[in-house]
Amino acid sequence: MIHSIDDMAPVMGADGEFHAQDEAVDLSGTKPEAWVALGFFWLLGATVFYQFFTRYVLNNSAAWTEEIARYLLIAVVFTGATIGVVKNNHIQVDFFYKFMPQPLSRAMSTVVDWLRVGFYVAAAVLTVMMMLKLGSNSRMTMVDLPMNWVYGVCLLGFAAMAFRSVQIAIFHHKRGYSVLERPESSMDDR
């Protein structure tokens, strides 16, 4: 990682040519949720490509691709939202925390952490209740598969978000502050 201009190697060589080199890619810190989201994204891309190919090249559109692409997009969103929870970078308003006394700011930040956990747990419970109510009778329109598969992905997303939110709340408690209180901090400060 480059920290200052002095750390940068010269880009233009004495020969007048550019000599830029990329840093080595390190994927060791990639969370499991990111790999799952990438898998769903590639499946979505392949489905949309197949849809494009059958519609515009073969002039015989595969009807199932639109529905499956919609469900794969849902899977990408829910696994992607889990990545946002892991990185603790979902949208938040930290403006008021600057002007609050530190003890109040800490208390409010803790309440926000545990409300977030409660929201994701409640969403997971409601998803289970909906899945039980639908049962196995609800099927996809074009493909004869149960709709509960789609809702199951949503349930796993909510459960993963709840689990990761608990981890973040515990991390904030141990660290003594959250990103709401100190926006310049990040989850990488572990």
In a domain? residue 106: yes
**Does residue 19 sit within a domain?**
no
Alpha helices (runs of H) in the chain, residue ranges in sequence order: 32-52, 64-87, 102-134, 148-175
Domain housing 51: 30-87+96-189
Least confident of 47-56, 86-95, 152-161: 86-95
At 141, is the secondary structure helix, strand, or coil?
Answer: coil
189 versus 171: the higher-pLDDT residue is 171
In this predicted structure, what is the pLDDT of residue 7? Answer: 57
Domain assignment present for residue 145? The answer is yes
Cα separation of 143 and 64, whole Å? 6
Please state, in angstroms and rounded to a whole number, the distance separating the CA atoms of residues 109 and 172.
Answer: 9
Q: Is residue 102 part of a domain?
A: yes
According to DSSP, residue 18 is labeled: B
Q: How many domains does the chain have?
A: 1
The string of pLDDT tens digits covering residues 145-158 is 888 899 999 999 99
Q: End-to-end alpha-carbon separation of the chain, Å? A: 17
Interval 107-165: pLDDT, tens: 988 999 999 999 999 999 999 999 999 887 888 888 888 888 999 999 999 999 999 99
| Mean pLDDT of the region 30-51 | 93
In a domain, 121, yes or no: yes
Answer yes or no: is 60 within a domain.
Answer: yes
CA count, 13 A, side-chain hemisphere, 10: 6
Residue 24 lies inside a defined structural domain of this protein: no
- If you ran DSSP here, which 8-state letter would residue 12 be given? B
For residue 167, being part of any structural domain is answered with: yes
